[in-house]
Structure 1
Amino acid sequence: MPRTVARVIVDALGELGVRQVFGVVGDALNPLTDAIRGTENLEWVGCRHEEAAAFAASAQSQLTGTLGVCMGTVGPGSVHLLNGLYDAAKSHAPVLAIAGQVPLAELGSDYFQEVDNDALFSDVAVFRATITSPDQLPQMLETAVRNALGRRGVAVLTVPGDLGEREVTGDRPPRFSLTPPVSRPDPAAGRRAAELLDRSERVTMLVGEGARAAREDVLALADRLAAPMVLTLKAKAGFEGDHNPFQVGQTGLIGNPAAAAALQDADTLLLLGTDFPYRDWYPEGRTVIQVDTEATHIGRRVPVDVGLVGDTGATVRDLLDHLATAPGNATDRSHLDKARERFDRWRAGQARLADPRHDKGLVGRLRSALDNRAHDIRPEVLAAAVDRAAADDAVFTSDTGMATVWLSRFVEMRGERRLIGSYNLGSMANAMPQALGAQCLDRERQVVAFCGDGGLSMLLGDLMTLKTHRLPVKLVVFDNRRLGMVKLEQEQAGLPEFGTVLDNPDFAAVAEAMGITGIRVTDPSDVESAVRRAFRSPGPVLLDVLTNPDEIAVPAQPTVEQGWGFAVAKLKEAVRSHGDTDGQ
């Protein structure tokens, strides 16, 4: 078999352990997709939109830590990759995107569909290059892959349409050996950090996904310092479950009062493997110690007294060696106990909201008269039911917005559960295609997508990809007929809701028309049985649940301005509604 450019690339992907390539076929990609067709250990997953392909590849990379691969053909096909690739870049996911291009002789002539890919991907990619000669392989491919893996980002390799079938001279196979370094911070800085921690009376730890691989060491440090652990959303899957006695949930707009108070009450903050971006949620005037593998992350969100650049696990072990307090001898645990008591009270209140019978009680009836007159299903009820039904090794994805809020508050990342979302880019429409990529890795593992109705409808066509490839993803649709987070943002600013109402179809009926099991739920008493039916049903399932559009997710520290803005917005909405009625 001739060693063409396409064959060298495809064989190398197989050697790297890549199992699927996601994309939409097109003329410039024909040599590459034909090479995949003839390869046993590599599957082509044809998507309906290249954005979905990029999201799927990124999801695989985030779950495995290895390379995800997607393809887009010349011009518009490559342009469509951009949003998913930006999400991969912001998530530090190694992804190789192979982009088609016009024939070599036409480059620079403003040929039909010609786009300057090297310029197009200049902001999103850590490496980008256009192959102009077969002799550039395998070195250029090796460089692209090493950049993606070594710098944990996106590499884009552009292949002109007439180059894929040309033969590569020589017979050297690509080599990708790359061992990630384990770095440690400056010893003097480590000793200084330990001294500050020893002198502190109330330490709170803000723990991110970057600390996930060092779970046991981080728990040992929390015990040594008697420190509550505030978790970023991406750290839920590493630190929330398995009876962690230190964690107090999330802070920020999706967080809870206990986590916010744990940060405010501390005299020292210890940031481990996190680049939590929301400056307003960091308390002022505290001693701050930050541990991160990236020097550029140190101090860019909050002023830092000691920055430790190095591997989180190695750094935490060094801190444990230098702390004066012996294991188990932290005498004052009042800061930790207070934070945990607050967290337990908050969780008990949330559990009451998630009870399907809540609205039938006196408090629930009064509440419904104000915010749920149509008696729609509370999203808390749905999220809690999914948590109970899902497997302890399920992979969850969530759309940006209110679906993420309900997952954050009501789904516990216990056991081997994993969580992926667009938590750095904040894109819409990510949950379903990310679930697609996750399910391709293991068709036996349960994959659950928390979909907003706005996000799902944006890339609705790729439901057909689930059907075509028989991927048993369970899609849970929070169908509140709104762009819910935007609605809440408008109202908190004192603006009446505008432009957020969605004229949705019956999503379950749409799924059935596509050959996918569809279940529609309108009665709160049916939620539990419907969720269990969805998880028992083989193949992909879309569970369309009509949820309350006026459900309010109160921030961890609501401000007077937010409350006043919400009240003003509701008054404006009521006046507008009354005026609309009079005018009919």
Structure 2
Amino acid sequence: MSQVADYVLQRLTGWGVHRIFGYPGDGINGFLGAFDRAGGDPGFLQTRHEEMAAFMACAHAKFTGEVGACVATSGPGAIHLLNGLYDARLDHQPVLAIVGQQRRTSLGAHYQQEIDLISLFKDVTEYVQYCMAPPSARHLVDRAMKTALSSRAPVCLIFPEDVQEEKYTEPPHEHGAVRTSIGWTKPRILPDPDEVRRAAAVLNRGRRVAMLIGQGAAGAREEVTEAADLLGAGVAKALLGKDALPDTLPFVTGPIGLLGSEASHKMVMGADTLLLVGTSFPYSEWLPREGQAAGVQIDIDGRMIGIRYPMDVHLVGDAAETLRQLIPLLIRKEDRSWRRFIEREVATWQRVLADRARLRADPMNPQIVAYELDKRLPDNAILTADSGSATTWWARYLRIRGDMKASLSGTLATMLPGVPYAVAAKLAYPERPVIAFVGDGAFSMLGMNELFTVKRYWERMNTDPRLVFTVFVNEDLNQVSYEQRVMAGDRINVETQKIPYVPAADFARLLGFTGIRCDSPDKIGAAWEQALAADRPVVLEVVVDAKVPPLPPHVRPEQMRKTARAFLQGDPEAVGIAVQGFKGKWQEAREHLPHAARR
């Protein structure tokens, strides 16, 4: 009879888990031996850090729709998982964490590496349990998987060292024992038909309907498109919904919020009716004022409905299923002037982006990097991003088309996921090109370490060899630097914000990868072509100007006052930022002038 650890891995393969990310330690010795005996199914993918293992598990869940899995040793290894698990928790992704613990006989003795794991994981997981006896392994695995899938949240199973190595026995047929089964089906969640009729009435009355969608609309592309057409609406996308709808549709206004587009801002602020589908976009300042717009929201999670904007109708249900019920009740709007306005704003915004990308900077404008990539993106690319100023260019410039996939840390907005997301995506889809946008802060923090993981597993990834890590080098924790100025009114603190130069391309070449360094806007197009033609992983190091501000689509007076106060305090980059900011806003203003005046 196999050991408990062997049984757990076998049970997980029955649930469709074939890859587990982790890092070894003696607290999971039983599982390490079981992985060896499993013969590669499930496979153990050794990352450079447990945090990155959890990020990869989260990314696997996001890109495949399956449960992602990670494993860590007791004590410090378990602690390291937390950030990646919180990323999954806040973005509603099913992830299983398997964690070791000291032997049962030592628990409560303040033993080495003994920590209260239940308390540690209580907030981040929907379900956390110890396996204290071999027969419990069966129902614990089954319950954890069913919970992860049903609640779309992380779960955690804790295995003391001695339990891992005990012989597995099936639960006895007696009182107190539980016998469970593998299996789960996605439920149909539909709102009350009367509420659907109420929603249709609200939407049919609206003259200027704005739609905002998120990752919950990912499986409702056709339904969202049809509803938007009937309503004459435009569609803005929260960051997690970037790949929910193609940006090639003329009424898709792109991102919203601080990283958003002027087209999204004008549409939402000019709307008299708001339809939210599968999103929990949290920033009220980028939504209409209360009472300005009637509201209808569709969300599969009743806990998240009506908590971002006061809604008139709350439809708890699956996005696609609910829209299919709603669409037959919608009356096509004959007045298409609102739709024409939105499409004009989208076209204008695309010209603004192109104009801004061409602005000169020292040594290079970061926007030109994204602009030139967008022209060359393969239609089946998978795009990942870190959190930082580069995220703004990723959100605005890279347009979704074909069957592209894209994701990042949405709600937690943590640094670091750009690289591990890309690695997990490439392992799941070795036949597809994968491109990551990463800041030099995140790359030097932990991201560059995972290039060793790529080197180790490259043979499993290279059906299509295109894997590009784009590192934006400005020697500044740029997003926080701007937030200091705009939100706090403080000048940049050089001691906290400036970081050492990272020779990313040189580092890539040390590993046998292609390393490309580009600091010229005249050469970035050729750099992208070289990167996308390489036969091995690529690190594209782009040296960009930290003084190019990630301008919001609408600058509020309070933001201007605080920025001015920061400049008056002697911010060393004040002049450069002011010049770049003026040029960026001038490009936006000139595109709204008549054509003759623009010339």
How would you bin the TM-score normalised by the shorter chain?
over 0.9
Deviation of 1:570 after TM superposition, in Å, equals: 2.7
The residue aligned with 1:180 is 186
The residue aligned with 1:510 is 507
SS at 1:380 equivalent: helix
Cα distance between partner residues in 1 of 2:170 and 2:308: 51
- Alignment CA distance shift 1:6-1:562 (3 Å): same
Answer yes or no: is the 8 Å Cα contact 2:384–2:408 preserved in 1: yes
* Structure 1 position 532 matched with structure 2 position 520: no
Answer yes or no: is the 8 Å Cα contact 1:209–1:235 preserved in 2: yes
Amino acid at match of 1:151: S
SS at 1:138 equivalent: helix
Return the match for 2:364 from 346, 358, 377: 377
* Structure 1 position 408 matched with structure 2 position 395: yes
The residue aligned with 1:105 is 105
Q: Mapping of 1:362-401 within 5 angstroms?
A: 372=361, 375-401=362-388
Cα distance between partner residues in 2 of 1:229 and 1:484: 30
* Structure 1 position 488 matched with structure 2 position 482: yes
Cα distance between partner residues in 2 of 1:170 and 1:453: 51
Answer yes or no: is the 8 Å Cα contact 1:270–1:289 preserved in 2: yes
Which segments of 5 or more consecutive residues in structure 1 lack a partner in the other structure?
A: 360-371, 579-584
Amino acid at match of 2:546: P
Deviation of 1:310 after TM superposition, in Å, equals: 1.0
* Structure 1 position 310 matched with structure 2 position 317: yes
Residues 100-153 of structure 1: CA distance to partner in whole angstroms, max 9, x if unpaired? 101111111110011111110000000000111101121111111111111111
Cα distance between partner residues in 1 of 2:156 and 2:572: 53
Amino acid at match of 1:114: E
* Structure 1 position 437 matched with structure 2 position 424: yes
Return the match for 1:216 from 219, 222, 235: 222
RMSD across aligned C-alpha pairs, in angstroms?
1.8
Cα distance between partner residues in 1 of 2:183 and 2:402: 32
Answer yes or no: is the 8 Å Cα contact 2:15–2:183 preserved in 1: no
Cα distance between partner residues in 1 of 2:571 and 2:91: 41
The residue aligned with 1:81 is 81
Residue identity (%): 36
Which segments of 5 or more consecutive residues in structure 2 lack a partner in the other structure?
A: 173-178, 576-599
Answer yes or no: is the 8 Å Cα contact 2:251–2:346 preserved in 1: no
Amino acid at match of 2:474: N
The residue aligned with 1:362 is none
Amino acid at match of 2:554: Q
Answer yes or no: is the 8 Å Cα contact 2:250–2:346 preserved in 1: no
* Structure 1 position 232 matched with structure 2 position 220: no
Return the match for 1:295 from 286, 302, 327: 302
Cα distance between partner residues in 1 of 2:433 and 2:221: 24
Answer yes or no: is the 8 Å Cα contact 1:496–1:572 preserved in 2: yes
Cα distance between partner residues in 2 of 1:523 and 1:194: 53
Q: Mapping of 1:331-342 within 5 angstroms?
A: 331-342=334-345
Residues 160-207 of structure 1: CA distance to partner in whole angstroms, max 9, x if unpaired? 112112111139997321111111111211111111112221111111
Return the match for 1:464 from 452, 456, 472: 452
Cα distance between partner residues in 1 of 2:154 and 2:574: 48
Q: Mapping of 1:65-76 within 5 angstroms?
A: 65-76=65-76
* Structure 1 position 558 matched with structure 2 position 555: yes
- Alignment CA distance shift 1:112-1:197 (3 Å): same
The residue aligned with 1:4 is 3
The residue aligned with 2:588 is none
The residue aligned with 2:590 is none
Deviation of 1:550 after TM superposition, in Å, equals: 0.6
Cα distance between partner residues in 1 of 2:108 and 2:370: 52
Answer yes or no: is the 8 Å Cα contact 2:491–2:571 preserved in 1: no
Cα distance between partner residues in 1 of 2:327 and 2:527: 49
Return the match for 1:274 from 279, 282, 287: 279
- Alignment CA distance shift 1:576-1:434 (3 Å): closer
**TM-score, normalization: structure 2?**
0.90
Cα distance between partner residues in 2 of 1:194 and 1:128: 42
Deviation of 1:376 after TM superposition, in Å, equals: 1.3
- Alignment CA distance shift 1:213-1:113 (3 Å): same
Return the match for 2:566 from 544, 562, 569: 569
Answer yes or no: is the 8 Å Cα contact 1:240–1:412 preserved in 2: yes
Q: Mapping of 1:38-53 within 5 angstroms?
A: 38=37, 39-53=39-53
The residue aligned with 2:440 is 453
Residues 366-385 of structure 1: CA distance to partner in whole angstroms, max 9, x if unpaired? xxxxxx4xx21111111122
Answer yes or no: is the 8 Å Cα contact 1:20–1:440 preserved in 2: no
Answer yes or no: is the 8 Å Cα contact 1:73–1:101 preserved in 2: yes
SS at 2:375 equivalent: helix
Amino acid at match of 2:41: N
Q: Mapping of 1:21-170 within 5 angstroms?
A: 21-38=20-37, 39-170=39-170
Query: Could you tell which deviates more after superposition, 346-355 or 293-302?
Result: 346-355
Return the match for 1:259 from 255, 261, 264: 264
Amino acid at match of 1:466: V
Query: Could you tell which deviates more after superposition, 306-315 or 569-578?
Result: 569-578
Answer yes or no: is the 8 Å Cα contact 2:213–2:236 preserved in 1: yes
Residues 442-467 of structure 1: CA distance to partner in whole angstroms, max 9, x if unpaired? 22211111001111111132221111
SS at 1:300 equivalent: coil
* Structure 1 position 421 matched with structure 2 position 402: no
* Structure 1 position 522 matched with structure 2 position 519: yes
Deviation of 1:42 after TM superposition, in Å, equals: 2.4
The residue aligned with 2:492 is 497
SS at 1:124 equivalent: coil
SS at 1:455 equivalent: helix
Answer yes or no: is the 8 Å Cα contact 2:78–2:99 preserved in 1: yes
Answer yes or no: is the 8 Å Cα contact 2:73–2:100 preserved in 1: yes
SS at 1:302 equivalent: coil
- Alignment CA distance shift 1:307-1:577 (3 Å): closer
- Alignment CA distance shift 1:279-1:574 (3 Å): closer
Cα distance between partner residues in 2 of 1:56 and 1:354: 32
Cα distance between partner residues in 1 of 2:391 and 2:499: 19
Large movers: runs of 4+ above 4 Å: 171-174, 574-578
Cα distance between partner residues in 1 of 2:182 and 2:518: 50
Answer yes or no: is the 8 Å Cα contact 1:102–1:114 preserved in 2: yes
Deviation of 1:295 after TM superposition, in Å, equals: 1.0
Deviation of 1:524 after TM superposition, in Å, equals: 2.0
Answer yes or no: is the 8 Å Cα contact 2:50–2:80 preserved in 1: yes
SS at 2:34 equivalent: helix
* Number of equivalenced pairs: 556
SS at 2:254 equivalent: coil
